[in-house]
Amino acid sequence: MRFLKSNGGYILEHDGHLFSIRNTRDGRAYYQCRQKPCKASLVLTEIFDKDAPIPANALIRIGKAHDVHPPPITDISNLAFLEKVQNRIMLNPALKPRTAWDDEKLADPVTFASVTTTFDHSVSSLLKYQREF
């Protein structure tokens, strides 16, 4: 299980699938599979700030199983790569998004090889991220 930063929020990766947060209530965060119309779900417990990184003591409960659908391998590669580009911008807000993209591509060509999104497609979210810092 890990969290991938995306547009200032977090997407949960669990067991090769991606989940978006749907709701939080009474210290529980409810997640649903991002693949429509799959209804697979997870619950994390002991979550009291849905926007904060998930604490190490968060417990996971598996809800409904996935429909028959392939794991979103390219989506995960794209998110992981964009997160690293975002981290570069966060560390150096003066960095141009294009430079951060190219630096990360050079730093991790293995991950980049499986990335299917393009800079032009991603630039608006990278610029949005830059404005937040």
User: In the bound complex, what is the minimum distance in angstroms from residue 31's beta carbon to Zn ion?
Assistant: 11
Q: Under the criterion CB under 5 A, does residue 34 sit at the interface with Zn ion?
A: no
14/50 with CB nearer Zn ion: 14
User: In the bound complex, what is the minimum distance in angstroms from residue 51's beta carbon to Zn ion?
Assistant: 24
Q: Under the criterion CB under 5 A, does residue 33 sit at the interface with Zn ion?
A: yes
The region that residue 18 occupies, defined by phi over 0 for left and psi between -120 and 50 for alpha, beta otherwise, is beta
Phi (first) and psi of residue 66, to 5 degrees: -70, 145
35/78 with CB nearer Zn ion: 35
**For residue 123, which of 99, 103, 106 has the smallest C-alpha distance?**
99
Q: Applying CB under 5 A, which of residues 32, 35, 77, 122 lies at the interface with Zn ion? A: 35
- The region of 62-70, 72-80, 94-102, 111-119 touching Zn ion under the rule CB under 5 A is 62-70
Question: At 127, which amino acid appears?
Answer: L
Q: Where are the beta strands (DSSP E) in the chain?
A: 2-6, 9-14, 17-25, 28-33, 41-45, 59-62
User: In the bound complex, what is the minimum distance in angstroms from residue 17's beta carbon to Zn ion?
Assistant: 5
Tally of residues, the chain: 133
Instruction: Give the binding-site size for Zn ion (rule: CB under 5 A).
Output: 5
Q: CA 94 → CA 36, 97, 123, distances in Å?
A: 38, 9, 15
- The region of 5-13, 43-51, 61-69, 106-114 touching Zn ion under the rule CB under 5 A is 61-69
Binding site for Zn ion (CB under 5 A): 33, 35, 38, 40, 66
